[in-house]
Amino acid sequence: MKIRFSFVFFCLYFLSFSQIEEKKLDELIQNTIKTFDVPGMSVGIIKDGKTVYSKGFGIRSMNTKQKMDDQTLVGIASNSKGFTGTALAILVDEGKLNWDDKVTKFIPEFQMYDPFVSQEVTVKDLITHRAGLGLGQGDLMFFPEGGSLTVNDIVHNVRYLKPKNSFREKLDYNNIMFIVAGEVIHRISGLSWADFIEQKIMKPVGMTSSFGSYNRAVKANVSNIIEAHAPVDGKAIPVPHDWNETANAAGGIISNIKDMMTWADFLMNGFTTKDGKKLVSDKQIQQLWNLQIPTPVALKNPYDSNFGGYGLGWFVSDIKGHKQVYHTGGLIGTVTQLILVPDMKLGIVVLTNQQSGVAFNTISNTVKDSYLGIADRNWLKTYSERMAKLNADYDKEKKDAFTKSTTFAKEKNNQIKPEQIVGTFNDPWFGDVIISNDGKNFRIICKNSPRLKGDLLPYSPNVMIVKWDDRSYDADSFINFNMDENCKAQSAKMKPISGVTDFSFDFEDLDLKRK
């Protein structure tokens, strides 16, 4: 069904929602959650300091069937990075650090792979994704949830991550450096990252329902909170909440539409609370929201953008001549989005309990277009068709890999034998990976991330497929063994079998050596 918004929504630039306008947006959200199999979604719009839309749709849990509303708590994931940037800006204003201070000033033991970079990397480098680490590199130290490594372990293990890029050369999105930035906040303030965020930001801003971490929400016995959902065999199912406490500074906050509207209003009001207290100076706001490192922008793009890149905890770009400050966030089973157009005093927040990014983009782009006066582009149809093609490609990649595995399994003489690969392999930043055989089946388990366990299936004379037990991960991978002259594996490399796998499953960054 085609939904028209252009003429109805154009007036939103000037007016609050009418009942007709509200109904049209309600219909779009309902069609979106149905199209992309999202159990629940909440949406908020703030314009000129007033919340003009704030609603929840669907259910917050497929188990309980309880309704989702604008007060339902959701893990906002990497939208937490804006809070980390704000926390550091507060400390800069207090004279306790400078953006160009070396990280080793606050964490003397901190080292990166390159000794020169170890001494040169600054606090600003940590939260601009420009320290040289690759996309998601090192994320397996905290992802998925349930790992045993502490913040101090992660800070120490950074030295073993061989950079993908030259220092300050390009933007490659990375969570690990934000964990280090959270530790800087802890070392300076004496507070945990979550305590600092709750006490110094959330409380004065008026975010009364939010928490600095998922565990804090659980301990508070809150009832109106989502369960996460992820697609398995093409259908969304409930999955455990997934975010390790060690990574709170990169993505740990739990919030809802009501509080996120308060946060958006605070930000667009010059980082000033409702009682008139300015938490961050204009000088530091300029640092946070100015382009620190650019990314390429396509010559033709939907919003005629001329620039894009990252500030300090925020993405920044231009849309139709307006500056846009935004971020997204993703956990297993949850994705979120926050968009600010400061000169229009426009904020859009979409929170979901499924991991479909096209679902939030459908809503936010449609609303954004309406305020920009752009005719209806039917984003629901565009994203639906795009995802159908992508999913077909991903399904083919997975099917082809498992078909070849099934065929090769019949070639008994060419298959890898237990004596060739059974044992413990080690990666210095990730830890031990144990391969076993019970006489019939091969198994793999990652010691520091015990939820990462599964079967090894034959694929070729020196390659097997890792089929993880938790099917919601959608992260099955090849493991390629390097054999010595006696046909015994001395090392191994891994990579996902399909492009659908989340970049935080950074198997390709592992360098496994027989222990």
CATH (residue range 6-377): 3.40.710.10
The residues spanned by each domain of the chain are 6-377, 391-514
- Measured in degrees and rounded to the nearest 5, phi and psi for residue 76 equal -80, -5
Half-sphere exposure (Cβ direction) of 482: Cα atoms closer than 13 Å: 10
pLDDT of residue 244: 85
Q: Is the pLDDT of residue 204 over 80?
A: yes
Q: Is the pLDDT of residue 207 over 70?
A: yes
92 exposure class (CB count in 10 Å sphere: 0-12, 13-18, 19+): buried
pLDDT of residue 20: 62
Nearest Cα residue to 166 out of 110, 218, 217, 120: 120
Residue 263 CA to residue 276 CA, distance in Å, equals: 14
> Average of pLDDT values for 189-212?
98
- CATH 2.30.42.10 at 391-514, yes or no: no
* Mean pLDDT over the full length of the chain: 94
Q: Is the pLDDT of residue 12 over 80?
A: no
> Average of pLDDT values for 74-103?
98
Length of the chain: 515
Q: What is the 3-state secondary structure (H, E, C) of 22-36?
A: HHHHHHHHHHHHHHC
Residue 416 CA to residue 410 CA, distance in Å, equals: 12
Poorest-confidence range of 17-21, 164-168, 289-293, 416-420? Answer: 17-21
